[in-house]
Amino acid sequence: MIELNHLHIELSGMNLIEASAGTGKTYAIACLYLRLLMERELSPEQILVVTYTEAATKELRGRIRGRIREALAVLDGAVTDDTFLAGLCENADRMDMGRSRAREQLDRALTSFDTAAIFTIHGFCLRALQDNAFESGSLYDTELVADQAPLLREIVDDFWRMRFFSEPAPLLGYALRKGHTCDYFMGFLREMWANPRLKVIPWFDASDIAAIEDDCRSTYAMLRELWKKSGAEIRREIQGA
């Protein structure tokens, strides 16, 4: 395994970096960000940084902005014991750009850092959809919903009202006896949502459900008539058994 060298790793192509918790991922990103600003002369809006959480995004913004200020101070002659920043200045001296141009590039990046493309994954996806509304077929006012629980609850509540609070509702008693409440269906829907390839069997379409309901109604009517005629006899048979 090759140890990551922040000063000399290639900035082009694809690099896979393996890192566990506390190994300096944010530090590495900030170092590579500085090199892209100086060596490739990119602006903050041309460098895409994507992470997982809003907290990590905020930390990255603060850390990178701070590193730019530190690099500017070292380029201005400040003494540092940071080997990366010292090496960065040496690289600037060896390159055609020189320290003055490197400082100008970093100063410009710091001034325009509010445009930095540092997003969460879902935030970047939303930005991409909004910036390419015609190509993606999305609306300009598309909203990012980080917590889908209220939407799932609305779906469950609508299902419950339509299936168990309408006339007729033959399965209401069965559902209550089995504990199939709104919370039960909420948990079931979350499992389905996590794995959309799951298929609930047996599968019935609308016509199948209508036919089953008709059979249940006709069977219930038949049993009711049978009970009216032979209820006493049935009781005696049950008690005798």
Query: What confidence tier does 141 reach under pLDDT thresholds 50, 70, 90?
Result: confident
Comparing CA positions, the residue from 83, 19, 25 lying closest to residue 50 is: 25
Per-residue pLDDT reduced to its tens digit, 26-74: 888 899 999 999 888 899 999 999 988 888 889 999 999 999 999 999 8
Comparing CA positions, the residue from 38, 28, 26 lying closest to residue 62 is: 26
Q: What pLDDT does residue 220 have?
A: 85
* pTM metric for this prediction: 0.61
* Separation of alpha carbons 63 and 50, rounded Å: 14
Per-residue pLDDT reduced to its tens digit, 146-159: 778 888 889 889 98
Instruction: Output the six-digit token pair for 74.
Output: 């070292």
Per-residue pLDDT reduced to its tens digit, 89-108: 888 877 766 788 888 889 99
Query: What confidence tier does 241 reach under pLDDT thresholds 50, 70, 90?
Result: low
Instruction: Output the six-digit token pair for 227.
Output: 């009970």
Average pLDDT score over residue span 116-127: 86
Q: What pLDDT does residue 192 have?
A: 80
Q: What pLDDT does residue 36 have?
A: 92
Q: What pLDDT does residue 54 have?
A: 85
Average pLDDT score over residue span 232-238: 84
The pLDDT mean for the chain works out to 84
Token match 């008690």: residue?
A: 239
Comparing CA positions, the residue from 93, 25, 31 lying closest to residue 67 is: 31
Rounded to the nearest 10 degrees, how much is the dihedral formed by the CA atoms of 227, 229, 231, 236? Answer: -140
Query: What confidence tier does 81 reach under pLDDT thresholds 50, 70, 90?
Result: confident
Instruction: Output the six-digit token pair for 162.
Output: 């339509």
Comparing CA positions, the residue from 68, 69, 77, 78 lying closest to residue 34 is: 68
Q: What pLDDT does residue 70 have?
A: 92
